[in-house]
């Protein structure tokens, strides 16, 4: 599922249910000191967040990072817009997909890689209601098969 091997700090669990994931990318994120400390404590929420290309730069919107408890007056704003770091070529390619083909950029997870916080971005298309029902049916069928196999091996 995920290509990275770092420690996962936050995950957008609804993303795979609401969107068809076409391709994933890794991006750095520009953070303040108290944001990094708060994320390391697992106090980030990716639920309603999305990324957008503005003036050939990539930004992440609506990522909620709770204020750091010991941050005093230098604490960060919880829902501020944060810049994402990717190569210019990749940003231009993503901008083309989003403008022409109706894709959207959704963050799937925040994780640590060599001491730095990274974002796993997905190029995604929204699912219709019938697609979501189909996903639920597939998940339930998979669960039933696993339960049947488990029961089979436990009864021996």
Write out pLDDT tens, residues 68-80.
777 677 777 778 8
**At residue 1, does pLDDT exceed 50?**
no
pLDDT in tens, 13-61: 888 888 888 889 999 999 887 888 888 888 888 888 899 998 889 999 9
Domain ranges of the chain: 8-127
Q: CA-CA distances (angstroms) from residue 57 to 19, 83, 86, 95?
A: 24, 8, 9, 10
pTM for this model (two decimals)? 0.76
The second-level CATH assignment, the architecture, of 8-127 is Beta Barrel (2.40)
Q: Average pLDDT, whole number, for the chain? A: 84
Average pLDDT over residues 82-108: 89
């Amino acid at each position: 599922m995920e290509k990275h091997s770092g420690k996962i700090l936050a995950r957008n669990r609804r993303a795979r249910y609401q969107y068809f994931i076409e391709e994933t990318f890794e991006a750095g994120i520009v953070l303040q000191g108290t944001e990094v400390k708060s994320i390391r404590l697992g106090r980030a929420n990716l639920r309603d967040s999305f990324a957008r290309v503005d003036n050939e730069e990539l930004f992440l919107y609506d990522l909620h990072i709770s204020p750091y408890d010991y941050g005093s007056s230098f604490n960060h704003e919880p829902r501020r817009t944060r810049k994402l770091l990717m190569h210019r070529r990749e940003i231009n390619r993503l901008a083309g997909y989003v403008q022409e083909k109706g894709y959207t950029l959704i963050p799937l997870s925040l994780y640590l890689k060599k001491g730095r916080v990274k974002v796993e971005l997905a190029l995604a298309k929204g699912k219709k209601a019938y697609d979501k029902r189909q996903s639920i049916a597939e998940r339930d069928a998979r669960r039933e098969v696993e339960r049947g196999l488990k029961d089979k091996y436990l009864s021996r």
